[in-house]
Structure 1
Amino acid sequence: MSENIIFSDAVRLAERIRTREVSPVEVVKAYLERIETVDRKINAIVALADGAIEGARKAEAAILAGDDVGPLHGVPFTVKDSIDTAGVLTQRGSPIFEGRIPETDATSVARMKKAGGILLAKTNLPEFSYWIESDNLLSGRSNNPWDVTRTPGGSSGGESAAIAAGMSPIGLGTDLAISVRGPAAQTGIVSLKATHGRVPMTGVYPRAPRRFWHVGPMARSIRDLALAFSQLAGPDGKDAFATSAGQFDAGIGRQPYRQLRVGWLVEPGFGPIDPEVARTVEEAAEALKSLGLHVEPVRIPALETDFALDVFNRLHVMEMKPEFAAATAGHEDQMYKMSKTMLSLPDTSMKDFIAAEQAAERLRDGYAEYFRSFDALVTPVLPLPAHKHGQAEFVINGQKVDATYLQGATVPLNITGLPGISMRFGSSQEGLPINVQIVGSWLAESTILNVASLLESVSPVRGLNPDL
C-alpha cells in the first residue's frame, strides 16, 4: 500500500482521499516514513513541518463530515527553502539565516494550502538559490536518487530529488535561469516555469533580479502541473509583475480546435548538445507528429545572433551583486562558494548593460516572430544528463565548456519571460533521465500543458522510479 502512495501523482492521491480509499493521515505518514528511510542517502529534506500530522487529521475529519474540499485536499507538498513558510524554518541555504522562521506564508504556499495541500517539509538548495548544484554550508549537498554520485541540480535540486525519490508527490521551486527545469531533467520529474508574472513571487528570496525570477510547481505528472498552476496563477496585489488574470483551464485531454503546429530545435542557439539528448528531442518531436500534430525542425535566428547565456550574464550581475552584498555584510566568514564568486565578478559597464538590454529585446522579438507560425517549441532542457558532483567543466559533443553552459537552453525563457515545461522522454545509456522542454508563447500555458500531456501519453519512460 505504501508504494502505491509514495509514487502516486498528486491528482490520484487527491481522488483517493476524496473517495475515502486512503486517509490523509495514512498518506502523510507514508511520506514521513519514506523520508526517514531514504533521505539519509539523498539529503533533500532540510526541515520537517510541525503540524503535518495534525493537518492530516483535520483534513480527514473534513472528508468524514462531507465538507466541500479543495482539489489538493489532504495531499502533502514540499517547498524549496527559499520560499517563506509561516512557522516553519526558511533558512535560504545559508548559516546567515540559520533559525529564521517567517511569520507569514509566501503567496504560492498560501495558495497550495488553500487548495487543501498539507505542508510536509522544506527542501535543500544552493546558497541563496544561486547555482546549478544544491550544496551549502548549512545543510550540505543533495544527491541524485538515480545515482548518488551525481547532482539533482540547482537551484531547486532538493525539491527535484525529494519528488523523484518518493518523499513528496508535488512541491514548489524557483527558477532564475534553470532552477525548476534543470533539476527536473536531472531527476526525471516534471516542472513548469510559467510566463513571468503569472505566479506571484511574494515571500520568495532573493527578490533581485525580479524580472527573471519565477516560482513554479514540480511534480510527477503533467496533470499535476496543470492542477497546481490553476491554483497558483493570478495577482496577489503585492507583486507588481503579477498582473495576469488568475482564471486558467489547461484543457488537458480535449482535442484542440485545430491542428497544432510544433517546431523542434537542438542546435544552433543553445550551445553544444550531447547526441543522446539531441536524439531524445528528435524522438519527442516524432512522437508528437505520430499523434497528428504538424511538426518540423526549425531555427530561431535571434538565438544565433545573440547567445542568451551571454546576455543573461551581462544583465543579472548588476542586480544580484547588491543583494548578495547586503545579505553577507558582517557575515563574510559564513559565505559559501557562490556568494564569494558573485561578489568577485566585475561590474558590467553601462555600455555593455544597455547593449545586453537591447539584445534581450531582440530575443523577445525573435520568439514573437516564431510564435506567429507555431504553437509550441520542443528543445533540450540540459545539454547532457545529470553530471557528477562538483564538475566545473564538460566536454559536450566534442566542445569543452564551463558549467554555466548547462543553462544554455533554459535561460532564454527567463530573459524573455516565456513559459516552459520540463518532462522526461528518454534515458541515457547509463539509465539516467533525459528530459525535453516544451516552450510556448506568452500566457500560453494551456497550450504547452496540452502538448506535454499528449507527449506524456506516449512516453517510453513513464512511471520509472529510482531504486533506493
Structure 2
Amino acid sequence: MSSEIHYSDATELAELIRTRAVSPVEVVQAHLDRIDRVDPAVNAIVTVADDALEAAHAAEAALTAGAEVGPLHGVPFTAKDSIDTAGVLTQRGSPIFKGRIPETDAVSVERLKNAGAILLAKTNLPEFSYSTETDNLLTGRTNNPWDPDRTPGGSSGGESAAIAAGMSPLGLGSDLAISVRGPAAHTGIVALKATHGRIPMTGLWPRVPRRFWHVGPMARSVRDIALAYALLEGPDGADGFATVPARIDTGTGASPDRPLRVGWLVEPGFGPIDSEVAATVQAAAEALQRSGCQVEPVRIAALEQDNALEVFNRLHVMELKPAFAEATEGHEDEIFTIAQAMLATPDTPPADFIRAEQAAERLKDGFAGYFRRYDALLCPVLPVPAHAHGLSTLTVNGRPMPAEHIQSATVPFNVTGLPALSIRFGTSRGGLPIGVQLAGKWLAESTVLHLASLLEKASDVRDRHPSIRV
C-alpha cells in the first residue's frame, strides 16, 4: 500500500482519508519512509517537520470524532525553503540564515493548513531563490530524479524533484522568471504561475521585485493544481498586489457556442528551441485540435520586437541588488556564486531602465492584442530537456546559447503577469520529460486549467515516474 500511497495524487489521498480507506498517519508515514529511501540520492528535502506525525494523529482523531474536515484533510505537502513555516526551519538556501525559524506561516502555507493539509517538509533551493539550478553552500545540490547527472531546475528545484520522486504529493514554490514552471518541466510534473497578485506573497523572501514574483502550486496532476489554486487565491490584506477578490475569473472555459481558440508558437519570439521540444509543442497543438479546440500557428510581434529576457534583466537587477547587499553585509565569506554574481552585476543606467519599463509595457500591450483573438497560447516551457549540472552554455540544435536562455520562454509571463502553466506532454530520446506551457489572458486561470486537463487526458506518456537509483 505504501507504494500506491506515495504516487497517489493529493485529490485521491484526500478521498481515501475521508472514506477511511487509509489514515492520515499511514499517508504521512508512507511519505516519510519514501523520503528516507530516495532522498539521499536526490537531496530535495532540507528539513522534515518534527510535528508532521503528530499533526497526522490529530487529523485522524478529528475524523474519528466526526468533525467537519477541509478538502485536503490529512494530506501532506511540502514547501520551498524560502516560504516561511512557523516553528520549522526556513533558511533560504544560505548559511547567513542557518537556524532561522519563523514565528508565523506564510499566507500560502496557512491557507493549505486551513484546508487540512499537513506540512511534511521543506525543500531545497538555490541561494536566495536566485538561480535556474538548485545548489547552495548550506544544503548542497539537488539532483533530477530522472537522471542524477542532470538538474531539476531552479529555483523551486527541490520542490519539483520531491514531487516527481514521490516524496510529496503537493508543494508550494515561487516563481520570479521560471521557478515553478521550469523545474516542473525538468522533472515531468505540473505547476501553475497564476496571474500576478492572485496568490499573496506574504511570508516569502526576497520580497523584491514583487511585481515579478509569484507563489505557485506544484503537483503531479492538473486536478491537484486546480484544487490548490482555489485554496490559495485571493487577497490577504497585507500584499498590496493581491487585490483581486477570489473567484473572479475572465476565462471562457468550455463553451457550446464556440471552440476555444488556441494559438501555438515555438519560434520566433522565444529564441532557438530544441527540435524535440518543438515537436512536443506541435503534438500538443494537434491534441488540442482533436479535443475540439480551434488551433493554429501564430506569431506575436511584441515578442519579436522586445526580448523579454533582456527587459527582465535590466529591470530586476536594480531592485534585487540592494536587497542582496543588505542581507549579505558582514557575511561576504558566506555568499555562494549566485549572490556574488548578482552583486557584481553593473547597475542598469537610468535611461536603459526607462527604456526597459517602456518595453515591458509594449509586451503587455502586445499580449492584450493577442488575447483579443485567442483564448490561450501554447508554447515551450524550456528550450531543451533537462541539462547537465553546472552548464554555462546550452547547445540548442547545434547552436551555443548562454545558460540564461533556459528562461526565454517563461520570463515573458512574469514581465507581463499573465497566468501560465507547465505540463509534461512528451519524452526525449534520452528518456527525459518534455513539458509544454499554456498561457492565458489575465485572470483566466480557468481556461488554462481546462486546456491543461485536455492535454493530460490526451497524453500518451508511459513512464510517468522516474526509476530512482538508490
Aligned to 1:217, what secondary structure does the other structure show? strand
Which residue does the alignment assign to 1:293? 293
Supply the AA of the counterpart residue of 1:89: L
Which residue does the alignment assign to 1:178? 178
Structure 1 distance, partners of 2:75, 2:452, is 23
Which residue does the alignment assign to 1:457? 457
TM-score where L is the length of structure 2: 0.98
Deviations 1:302-321 (A, max 9, x none): 00000101100111000010
Say if 1:104 and 1:462 are closer, same or farther in 2 by CA, change over 3 A: farther
CA contact (8 A) 1:456 1:462 kept: no
Quote the offset at 1:253 in angstroms. 9.8
What aligned pairs does 1:242-391 form with structure 2 within 5 A after superposition?
242-247=242-247, 258-391=258-391
Which residue does the alignment assign to 2:130? 130
Structure 1 distance, partners of 2:336, 2:392, is 16
Structure 2 distance, partners of 1:343, 1:429, is 39
Structure 2 distance, partners of 1:306, 1:460, is 36
Say if 1:252 and 1:108 are closer, same or farther in 2 by CA, change over 3 A: farther
Supply the AA of the counterpart residue of 1:312: F
CA contact (8 A) 1:6 1:31 kept: yes
Structure 1 distance, partners of 2:24, 2:98, is 31
Deviations 1:116-144 (A, max 9, x none): 10000000000000000000000000000
Q: Are 2:427 and 1:427 equivalent residues in the alignment?
A: yes
CA contact (8 A) 2:209 2:320 kept: yes
Deviations 1:426-461 (A, max 9, x none): 000000000000000000001100010011001111
Structure 2 distance, partners of 1:319, 1:462, is 44
Q: Structure 2 unaligned runs (5+)?
A: none
Deviations 1:226-275 (A, max 9, x none): 00000000000000000011126899996665310000000001111000
What aligned pairs does 1:125-164 form with structure 2 within 5 A after superposition?
125-164=125-164
Supply the AA of the counterpart residue of 2:131: W
Which residue does the alignment assign to 2:214? 214
Which residue does the alignment assign to 2:4? 4
CA contact (8 A) 1:17 1:74 kept: yes
Which residue does the alignment assign to 2:448? 448
Which residue does the alignment assign to 1:412? 412
CA contact (8 A) 2:173 2:215 kept: yes
Quote the offset at 1:99 in angstroms. 0.0
Aligned to 1:281, what secondary structure does the other structure show? helix
Q: Are 2:22 and 1:25 equivalent residues in the alignment?
A: no
> After TM superposition, where is structure 1 displaced by more than 4 Å over at least 4 residues in a row?
248-257
Which residue does the alignment assign to 1:52? 52
Deviations 1:51-109 (A, max 9, x none): 10011011111112221111111000000000000000000000000000000000000
Say if 1:362 and 1:160 are closer, same or farther in 2 by CA, change over 3 A: same
CA contact (8 A) 1:230 1:249 kept: no
Structure 2 distance, partners of 1:111, 1:19, is 23
Q: Structure 1 unaligned runs (5+)?
A: none
Supply the AA of the counterpart residue of 1:279: A
Supply the AA of the counterpart residue of 1:152: P
Say if 1:171 and 1:284 are closer, same or farther in 2 by CA, change over 3 A: same
Aligned to 1:422, what secondary structure does the other structure show? strand
Structure 2 distance, partners of 1:242, 1:144, is 33
Quote the offset at 1:212 in angstroms. 0.3
CA contact (8 A) 1:252 1:449 kept: no
CA RMSD of aligned residues (A): 1.4
Which residue does the alignment assign to 2:108? 108
Supply the AA of the counterpart residue of 1:353: F
The total of aligned residue pairs comes to 468
CA contact (8 A) 1:251 1:450 kept: no
Q: Are 2:119 and 1:119 equivalent residues in the alignment?
A: yes
Structure 2 distance, partners of 1:251, 1:44, is 35
Quote the offset at 1:50 in angstroms. 1.2
Deviations 1:353-381 (A, max 9, x none): 00000000000000000000100110000
TM-score where L is the length of structure 1: 0.98
Quote the offset at 1:174 in angstroms. 0.2
Of the structure 1 ranges 132-141 and 58-67, higher mean CA displacement relative to structure 2 is found in 58-67
Q: Are 2:253 and 1:241 equivalent residues in the alignment?
A: no
What aligned pairs does 1:70-89 form with structure 2 within 5 A after superposition?
70-89=70-89
Quote the offset at 1:113 in angstroms. 0.2
Quote the offset at 1:189 in angstroms. 0.2
Which residue does the alignment assign to 1:226? 226
Structure 2 distance, partners of 1:400, 1:257, is 47
Which residue does the alignment assign to 1:399? 399
Structure 1 distance, partners of 2:352, 2:82, is 31
Q: Are 2:69 and 1:69 equivalent residues in the alignment?
A: yes
Aligned to 1:391, what secondary structure does the other structure show? coil
Say if 1:118 and 1:261 are closer, same or farther in 2 by CA, change over 3 A: same
CA contact (8 A) 1:150 1:387 kept: yes
Structure 2 distance, partners of 1:250, 1:366, is 18
Structure 1 distance, partners of 2:16, 2:455, is 25
Aligned to 2:437, what secondary structure does the other structure show? strand
Structure 2 distance, partners of 1:215, 1:183, is 14
Of the structure 1 ranges 283-292 and 396-405, higher mean CA displacement relative to structure 2 is found in 396-405
CA contact (8 A) 1:222 1:449 kept: yes
Structure 2 distance, partners of 1:250, 1:243, is 15
Supply the AA of the counterpart residue of 2:31: Y
CA contact (8 A) 1:252 1:453 kept: no
Percent identical: 69
Of the structure 1 ranges 420-429 and 456-465, higher mean CA displacement relative to structure 2 is found in 456-465
Supply the AA of the counterpart residue of 2:402: D
Structure 2 distance, partners of 1:292, 1:252, is 14
Quote the offset at 1:214 in angstroms. 0.3
CA contact (8 A) 1:43 1:142 kept: yes
Structure 2 distance, partners of 1:409, 1:38, is 32
Supply the AA of the counterpart residue of 1:40: P
Structure 1 distance, partners of 2:357, 2:457, is 40
Structure 1 distance, partners of 2:90, 2:463, is 32
